[in-house]
Structures are given as C-alpha cells and as structure tokens.
Structure 1
Amino acid sequence: MQTQSKNLYDVVIAGAGPVGLFLACELRLAGLSVLVLEQAQDPHAALKQLPFGLRGLSIPTTEAFHRRGLLDEIVAAQRAKSGAIRSAAHWMQQARRPAGHFAGIQFFQDDIDAAQWSWRLPTPADAGVAVDLDTLESVLAVRACSLGVDIRRGFGVNAIAASDDDVTVQAAGETFCGRWLVGCDGGRSTVRKSCGFDFVGTDPEFTGYSIEVELADAEKLNPGRNYTPTGMYTYAPSGTIAMVDFDGGAFHRTAPIRIEHLQGVLRRVSCTDATITGLRLAATWTDRARQASSYRKGRVLLAGDAAHTHSPLGGQGLNLGLGDAMNLGWKLAATVRGHAPDRLLDTYSRERHPVGAQILDWSRAQVAIMRPTPSARALQAIVRDLIATRDGATYFAERVRGVSLRHDLGGRHLLVGRSVPDFELADGTTTGDRLRAEKGLLLDFDTRAPLGALASGWADRIAYVAGEPRDRLGLSAVLVRPDGFVAWAGDGASDHEEAAEAAFRWFGEPTARRTP
C-alpha cells in the first residue's frame, strides 16, 4: 500500500450505518478523535425507508439510547412518520396489541407476565419503538456530527495494513491512519475479509424477497403472513410483499431481479395465479448464519453484521449490532486513554460472541419451523400452542425483547451482568439519567463512608451517588459499568472490598496509583 502524509485518528470506523455511527458517538463522548469512512455517497437508500426499512428496537437498544439521551430524539423523529409506519406494518392493524413473533407466530402484550422479571424496574425504555433505518441513521448522524465525528461518504475501504502500533487504511484514493480500526461495514465486510477473520456457520436454505409491485389481481393474496405448502409470504396492500422460497439461497445475488422471475416465485410460494404488472423495488436476502470466531485481531475489531450475519427474521440483527457498539465503545475508549485494566478489550469479544451465537441459533430455529414440510408444520403447531400460554408468551418476549440478556461476568448476585434497573434516586434522577456522561456509577443506597472513599479513587471514571432510592430491590449498593451493565451488586452481606475488586477489574487502578 502506498503511504502519504496523513492525520492519525484514535479510531477509524468503516461503515456509517447505525452501528458505526452509534459507536462513533460513544467514542467521541470519551474525547477520542474518530473518522468514519462510508462507501455509499447517499445515505438515503430506498431499502432503508418504509416499508422495508422498518425495525423494532429491543429493550437493550432503547435502554442504550435512553442512557445516552438519544431515545427522545429517535421517538420524536419516528412520531413524525407514525402514520406511515402504521400503514407499513401489517401487524399494527390487529385488535390485540402484538408484542413480537417467532417465525411469524405472534404473541401478544396482554399474555406477557412482566412480574416474572424481578430484576427490572419501570423505565422510559420499556415503550416499544418502531423506526425506519433512514430515520435512525439520520438521528445518529446528526448526533455524531454535533460531537465532532469526521464522516466521509463515498470513501469505501479497499486496502488495510495493520501494525503493532496503528492501522493504515486506503479509501477512495486517499490514505488514513488510526490507532485502531473497527469494521462496521456489513455482512460482506471488506475489513473482515482483508484482515483474515474466520467467518464460520451454516449455508442458506432459502432466498428471501422484499418487493414493491403492482398487481393485476391483488385480491388473490391474503393480507398478513401466510404459510403455504411451498413456502411463506407476507402481503400488505397494495403491493408490499416479502416471500421465502426454499431454494437453498440459489437466487441471492446471482442474477438481475426481473418481473418474470418474481412472477414465478410469487405464484409458486403463494399457490395462486396472482399477476405482477409492475415492479417498483426488489431485493433478496437469505438465512445464511455466520459469525467471526473472534471479534478482535490485533488493532482491528468487528461489530454488527461484519461480525455476525443471519436472516432478518424477527429483526434481531440491528439490535445485536447496536449492543456490540455499546459494549465496545467504553472499553476501546479506556484502552486508547491508557487507563484500561489488562485485557479489558478482550472482554468485548468474550461477552458479545455468545450473545451473537445465541441470536444465530434463534434465527436457525425459526427457519426450522418455516420449512414447507409436514414435520416443520407439526412443530409449528406445537409452538403456536406454547406461545399462546402466559408462560410461553413471557419466555418468547424475554428472548425477542432482549430482557433475558446477561453477560457472564462471574458475580454471585443474579443482577451482575444484567442491565442495571432504572432506579429512581433520591434527587429525582434515575440511573438512566446518570449514565449520560459515559462514566461508571457507584450507587450507595446505605450511604456508607467506605464506599464513598472507594469511589473517590476513581472519580474520573466512576460517579458516586448516595441516597435511598424509591425501590432498591433489596440491594445495598451497585457498581455499574459505563454501558449500563452491573459489575457488582451488594445486598448487605458484602462489604466494600468486593466493590473495590470489581472496580479494579473494570476500571483499572485508581487515579492516585497511576504514574503521571
């Protein structure tokens, strides 16, 4: 690679999708210099807009946005399109309020027993949020620019050279250098391929189609989701169709998408003779499920679809990637700033890889009961019965909404590794409010002097908050990481020594012990 005079950024991010932009915001909150390189010149692609760009945000995602002061902005931007979103989502026309689905089998809000989630408290992030990708990216781009992120569009990464000290990137004929490079450049990631990451998993069973068409006889298609002896299709009048053809993924990106081909697939999958007379938009996708064996190789890291890819069934991919960004941001920032404990950055892959593997299996399980076979249909009937029960709906809601997410951090308390409850603190603020500055929190509900003294040693990285909350859930104190996950929890049986050990583990040495 040719080199030339270039600026050195703390972090270069490949990809200006939601994951790359959110990660850039996290890094800038910590004061790092960040460059985002994006191949597309125009961010407003048709597939990011309604109807196909519609996504539901999981609770870990809405919590992350709430903790960074972004949730209200996203909700306001979404509300401006609420009518369009309602018309784009066929499931919003139902009498009962849908709460999610598994392979198209819906469960409903009034069947969910949220009382089973004893580790949670009410939070603004509990409200369901549906947003199109175009709106979400626009909000994140505005926030990133306001924080000082350097975004270059029309700069697709085409060459990478990594050393022990930095990473040099070539894009659009220019050369850039960063101390670290993060690939957020999608399922066909140039960063992942160029840097030799293993990407393993399972091959596709179907080609999925998202199309906007004109129909001569729309009445022949049933609105909503439909399973047939040959596949599955979802139809929203007057011409929005998603369909799945179990062809082993043979047509995905292998030939131009023409009306004649779509006509054949629609008739085969819908078991009708519906006729397409015009094509406005078409894209294909598959259920290929692959994951990088590790999300880090030296000074190069992966996040989002660059690290894991699977079918869009259930809308888990966006949320999974945004969770990667929230987990990685503070750890990479602490590493760059020089106060991270040993191997902190390695915990990114160790924590997020199992979460990604679980989502890939969740996707595979949905495909298994969607197959047009008698055995799959029999299994589907059993899942329908289970999902209609209170315990069943609660279980599926836990998984789909991300309520059950827990990183294995090794703590003895059931709250360790989970998202911190949104405690209402003595001054009227909440833990969500207190996490806006991307610092850790030590919540001391009993106002014990040893914990206050402990927190002072990490005052540049941990905010100390003392006082009785409205509901303490039986806890005496909680140490929270900057991403909002609990690093340690005390219930009266623990002393400040355990809190100190957790602070050392996640925040490094206290300031007083560090060499100036």
Structure 2
Amino acid sequence: MNFRSSASEAQVVIAGAGPTGLMLAAELRLGGVDVVVVERRASGTVGESRAPGINARSVEILTQRGLAEEFRSRGKLLPGVLFSGIPMAPQDLDPGWPSAMILPQHQTERILTARAVELGARFEWSTTVVDLRQDDHGVEVLVEGPSGPSAIRADYLVGADGGHSAVRRICQIPFPGDEPVSWWVVGDVQLDSPPDGNGVFGRNERIGIYQISRAEPEWFRLSLMRATPPADRTAPVTLDELREVMRDGLGTDYGLSRARWMSRFSDGFRQVTNYRHGRVFLAGDAGHTHSPIGGQGLNLGIQDAVNLGWKLAAVLNGSVPDALLDTYNQERHPIAATVLQLTKAQTALIKPGAQNDALRAVVADMLTVPETCLRIGGILSGLNLRYPLGDTHPLVGRRMPNLTLYTDQGATEVFDLLRPARPLLINLGADGLSGAPAGWADRLDYLEARLDPALSAGSWTLPVFGEVPACDAVFVRPDGYVAWVAPVDAPADVGALTGALDRWLGTPADAMTA
C-alpha cells in the first residue's frame, strides 16, 4: 500500500471513538493537546444500549468535568448495586454513598462526542489504522480513509479500539487470558408480547440468570445464556438465532419482531501485561476484556482515559519527563486485574446448576454482612480504589471527597474546582503554607478555604471513607486523586509537598531556568 508522502500531524492520535477514546480526547483537549480521533465507523453508535451501566465513580468523574447534569437528565439513577443479580444496598449502611446510573451507550457517546468536538478534538470517521511505525521521536500512524491511504505523524498513539484492537494486533502485543467456555446473546429488541409489560429478570435451571428489561420506550434489552455453544462464534447474530435461544431457554420468544442491535459475548477474560508499548498505549477493552456481567467495562475505560489524559498533556507541555507515563500502567493495570477476578466470580454465579445455586445462596448471605457489602460495593462502584501513592494518610492515593469549601467569595465544591482538569492545592489553614510553592504556581490552582464547622477538628466522617484524620491542606491530581495531605496535628511538611509536586508536575520553573 502506498501512503501519501506528506503526513498530517497531531500530538496524540486516538484509535477508537467509543466512550474510552471520546473521554480521552476531551481530557487531552482540556490539557491543550492537539488530538485526532480515528474511527472505522462512519459515525458514533446509533441506537444501541451496549454498555449502559455507569458506576458511582464514573458518575463522580463526569461531575468533576461538568457533564453529570446532562447524563442525569437522560439516564436513570440506581439506588443500589447488583452482584450477579443479588441486590446490595450500601446506601442503607452509608446514606452518603453516591449513586450509579443507567444510560444506553449511544447516548453516552453522543454526549462525549459533543464535548470532545466543543473542546476542539478532530475526528476522522470511516478511517481505520492499518499500520504504524514508531521511533524515539514519535509514531507514524498509517490509516485508510474515504480519500485513500495516508499517514498521521504524532508524538503518541493510544489504542482505544476495543477487544479486537487493531493497534494491539499491529504492535504484536500478547493478550493472555482464559478461553471462553460459555456464550450469551444480547440485543435491543422489540417484542409483540413482552413479559409483564416491562420485562422480566429471572433465573432457571437451563440458562441461569436472564434479563429482559425496558431500555428505551420502544426497545427491550435482552440478555440470556445459550444452552449450547454457537455453531460459528464469528458469524453475526441473527433474529433467528435470538428466537432459537429464547425458545430454548425460556420456552417463548415473546413475539420477537425486530432488533436494532444484536451481539454475543462470552466468559473469556484477557489482559495485556503492560498498557505501554513505547509511544503506544492501550486503554479500555484494547488492554483488558472480560464478561460484561457487572457492567465494569465502560467504567474501566473511562477511568483509564482520565488517568492517562492529564499525564500525556503534562509530558507534551514539556514540564514533566516521559517517565511519568509509566505510572499509567503501574496504577491502572492492578485495578483491571482486580475487576477481572471479581467479574469471573460474578459470571460463574449467573450460570445454571445446583452447585451454583448453592454458592449463590452462600454469597447472598455473606453480602448481608455490612463490612462485606461495603467492601464489595466499593470495588463494583470504583469508590474504594487506591493508587500506591504512599500510606502517610488514609486519603493519599484515594479519590478526593466532594467537600463543600467556603471562601471570601462564597461556597464551592471540590468537584467544581476540578472541571479544568488542573492540579489543585487546597489550603484549609495549614501552618507554613502560604500560596502555591514557587516554581509550580503556573501549573496548579491554589485555593485558601474553610470547611463546614460540622466537620470536627480532629477527624472527618465522610461518605464511603468513614472516619479519617482531618487535613489542613490537600494536593489533588487532575484525575481527582489525592497525592499529598497536611494532617492537622503538625505543621505542613512543605518538603514532602514539593516532592509530590516535583513527581507529578515536573521540575519547578525556577530550577529549569537556573
């Protein structure tokens, strides 16, 4: 294939315009990065529910970027959490526990696409990545689009192109894991005789748990296990196959008449060993795939994007060494590995069989124990994630709570301050801290504020966290995770703060010009 000799340029090329790629594009634009999104489809997802579950941590992230209001206006908040269909209610134990949400994926993509375009991301639709070459200075992405073959020269490439990632295949990155042993069919369908009018969620001895639920006014979301493996796993799903699987497993097809989207999934689980390959990164399903039971895939991808985006921007803006990008794999790989293990357990529990029924009963009983409910609920919700940033304080490495802050200009919330995706240093009265440390003032936002007196001086009781020692100052990364705190029982350790700033924001400006 001959490529045009004059390549276009961008700082970052993103392969894939699903939720992961779209979120990453918006994050990069907030950091001032020139980004091109390459997508093989002619447009975004149209009329497909696909991955509708948005967990509580992802809802928090959307709030931090000013998107949650639009999501809430279109979606439905969930009062609890499900573990393989077993209801859990962490809100009953912790009234401040944030809510998750249900929203069909095509609407998620529509919102994120609009935001990325608004921020200035460029898109090349109907365009596929066919090859790439990288060196010490950048990567050349070879693509095939409506105008024929061409090339894009960039500093970095991110493969956010799904479980069958072309970027991963071209780079010959191994994708180890477990081969599937069971298969399910899923789709958005119209039913002439829907069960109970609005759907049904049940379990039987032939196919285990099945779900037929109303996704949108005219459409039902169908998900049920095949009693037998498909004859051809690679063949597209057809209406006839859906009818056959429904009749085989449920005894009826409920008058299935039409589908706008059909697919199948399996219980195969895979994860690359490293999300970085030189100047190429993998995000979302390109780096880890698993059964969608539990609704973790979209959320892992969005949170991969938010972790990687600000780091790429910091490196490209010249303030931080390229080594910062290694922390993307160090932080995100173990999170996905934990989720994959939990999803394996959830997938096993939805399958049929007397032994699985017994196991479900034991697990359901265990989940009534408050400590177990909160622990498992925290993993499923993404709320108890902790990056290895040190153990100097219970908040370090964890998500910053959305505290209300009071200033001379009025009240604000932490999540509102994170909308620009900039580092944030909050001074709540720390001794020895007056203003942003010299050399980093232009790289972070600094705020002096007070807390609600209802929070005691010695400790804070916070949703999800419980009781933690209070802080006099907090340094929050652009992705909303705490990287340093000043406890109330000692003067602020400015040396530790400058160490954290140097690690995450790079060499101070005065040292660079000295």
Q: One fold, TM greater than 0.5?
A: yes
State which of 458, 483, 486 in structure 2 corresponds to 1:487: 483
Q: CA deviation at 1:258?
A: 3.7
So what's the TM-score if we normalise by structure 2? 0.87
Contact conserved, 1:252 with 1:284, CA < 8 A, in 2? Answer: no
Q: CA deviation at 1:371?
A: 2.6
Distance (whole Å) between structure 1 residues aligned to residue 504 and residue 85 of structure 2: 40
Contact conserved, 2:418 with 2:480, CA < 8 A, in 1? Answer: yes
2:200 match:
224
Distance (whole Å) between structure 2 residues aligned to residue 106 and residue 257 of structure 1: 31
Which structure shows the higher strand fraction?
Answer: 2
Contact conserved, 2:425 with 2:447, CA < 8 A, in 1? Answer: yes
1:41 lines up with 2:42 in the alignment: yes
1:499 match:
497
1:236 lines up with 2:213 in the alignment: yes
Distance (whole Å) between structure 1 residues aligned to residue 272 and residue 154 of structure 2: 22
State which of 398, 404, 419 in structure 2 corresponds to 1:436: 419
Kindly report the root-mean-square deviation, in angstroms, between the aligned alpha carbons of the 2 structures: 2.6
Q: CA deviation at 1:386?
A: 2.3
State which of 115, 132, 139 in structure 2 corresponds to 1:167: 139
Q: For the structure 1 residues 252 and 285, does the alpha-carbon distance in structure 2 shift closer, same or farther, using more than 3 Å as the test? A: farther
1:4 match:
5
Aligned length: 484
**TM alignment of 1:63-78, pairs within 5 A:** 63-76=60-73, 78=74
**TM alignment of 1:99-498, pairs within 5 A:** 99-108=80-89, 111-114=92-95, 126-171=98-143, 172=145, 173-213=149-189, 223-231=199-207, 232-236=209-213, 240-245=221-226, 247=228, 250=230, 253-270=233-250, 272-274=251-253, 278-281=257-260, 282-341=262-321, 343-427=323-407, 428-448=411-431, 450-452=432-434, 455-470=437-452, 471=455, 473=460, 474-491=470-487, 492-493=489-490, 495-498=493-496
Distance (whole Å) between structure 1 residues aligned to residue 132 and residue 395 of structure 2: 41
Unaligned runs of 5+ in 2: 461-469
Distance (whole Å) between structure 2 residues aligned to residue 235 and residue 168 of structure 1: 46
Distance (whole Å) between structure 2 residues aligned to residue 221 and residue 75 of structure 1: 25
**TM alignment of 1:20-31, pairs within 5 A:** 20-31=21-32
Distance (whole Å) between structure 2 residues aligned to residue 54 and residue 329 of structure 1: 22
Which structure shows the higher helix fraction?
Answer: 1
Distance (whole Å) between structure 2 residues aligned to residue 67 and residue 277 of structure 1: 41
What amino acid is the match of 2:343? S
1:121 match:
none
Contact conserved, 2:163 with 2:289, CA < 8 A, in 1? Answer: yes
Q: CA deviation at 1:114?
A: 4.9
Contact conserved, 2:100 with 2:381, CA < 8 A, in 1? Answer: no
2:508 match:
510
2:464 match:
none
What amino acid is the match of 1:167? V
**Cα displacement string for residues 339-380 of structure 1 (whole angstroms, at most 9, x for unaligned residues):** 114621100000000011111111101122223222211110
Unaligned runs of 5+ in 1: 86-91, 118-125
Q: Structure 1 stretch 317-326 or stretch 418-427: which is displaced more?
A: 418-427
Distance (whole Å) between structure 1 residues aligned to residue 442 and residue 205 of structure 2: 62
Identity %: 35
> What secondary structure, in the 3-state scheme, does the structure 2 residue paired with 1:509 have?
coil
1:62 match:
59
Q: Structure 1 stretch 252-261 or stretch 182-191: which is displaced more?
A: 252-261
Q: CA deviation at 1:40?
A: 0.3
Distance (whole Å) between structure 1 residues aligned to residue 336 and residue 180 of structure 2: 18
Distance (whole Å) between structure 1 residues aligned to residue 444 and residue 161 of structure 2: 32
> What secondary structure, in the 3-state scheme, does the structure 1 residue paired with 2:395 have?
coil
